[in-house]
Amino acid sequence: MSGAPVRALIALGSNVGPRETLLDGAVQALRDAPGVRVVGVSPWVETAPVGGPPQPAFLNGCVELSTTLAAPDLLRLLQGIEARFGRDRAREVRHGPRTLDLDLLFYGEEALDEPDLIVPHPRLEERTFVLEPLCALHPELRLPRSGRTVRERLAELRRSDGGRP
């Protein structure tokens, strides 16, 4: 436990099995976790897979937490929830289908660059499937690399994708 609560933002995704049930279950698992309070949940958004082999569409979302867990402990919690819902990182194909993907996007104002933990998430500003649900929670949040708001960056990505949602 780190003491004072920290705001953390988590991206969720699923494209194997009952996607909505898996995402709802992950949110409930976060609600049930000691040291974690779920503050907000975005709507689920269906998105096309990016990279990797041919695979089904994803359902994506974002969750805002208030947590007293240290960042490495929060990451372990997220990975434990993924495993509980059927994710086997050792057997999966990189960027391939998965039952559940939970990514730590932000941990307070901290910038961490450790072998297994980089926050803010290094690719979040290039991912419409992350920014769209994040925009539902925090449209005016300033992104660390570009300095743009989530809303501004999402609009830029949509323009560069030819208006694709």
Q: Which residues contact 27 (CB under 8 A, 6 or more apart)?
A: 12, 38, 41, 63
Of 7, 37, 98, 113, catalytic: 98
Of 19, 101, 127, 153, catalytic: 101
Of 87, 89, 116, 142, catalytic: 87
C-alpha 156/C-alpha 163 separation (Å) is 9
Question: What does DSSP say about strands 101-107 and 58-67: parallel, antiparallel, or unpaired?
Answer: unpaired
- Told to judge if 87 belongs to the known catalytic residues of this protein, a careful annotator would answer yes
Name the nearest CA neighbour of 15 among 64, 48, 43, 62.
48
- Told to judge if 116 belongs to the known catalytic residues of this protein, a careful annotator would answer no
- Told to judge if 103 belongs to the known catalytic residues of this protein, a careful annotator would answer yes
C-alpha 133/C-alpha 27 separation (Å) is 14
Of 73, 94, 103, 151, catalytic: 103
**Residue 64 backbone phi and psi in degrees, to 5:** -100, 130
C-alpha 158/C-alpha 84 separation (Å) is 34
- Told to judge if 123 belongs to the known catalytic residues of this protein, a careful annotator would answer no
Q: Residues with catalytic annotation?
A: 87, 98, 101, 103
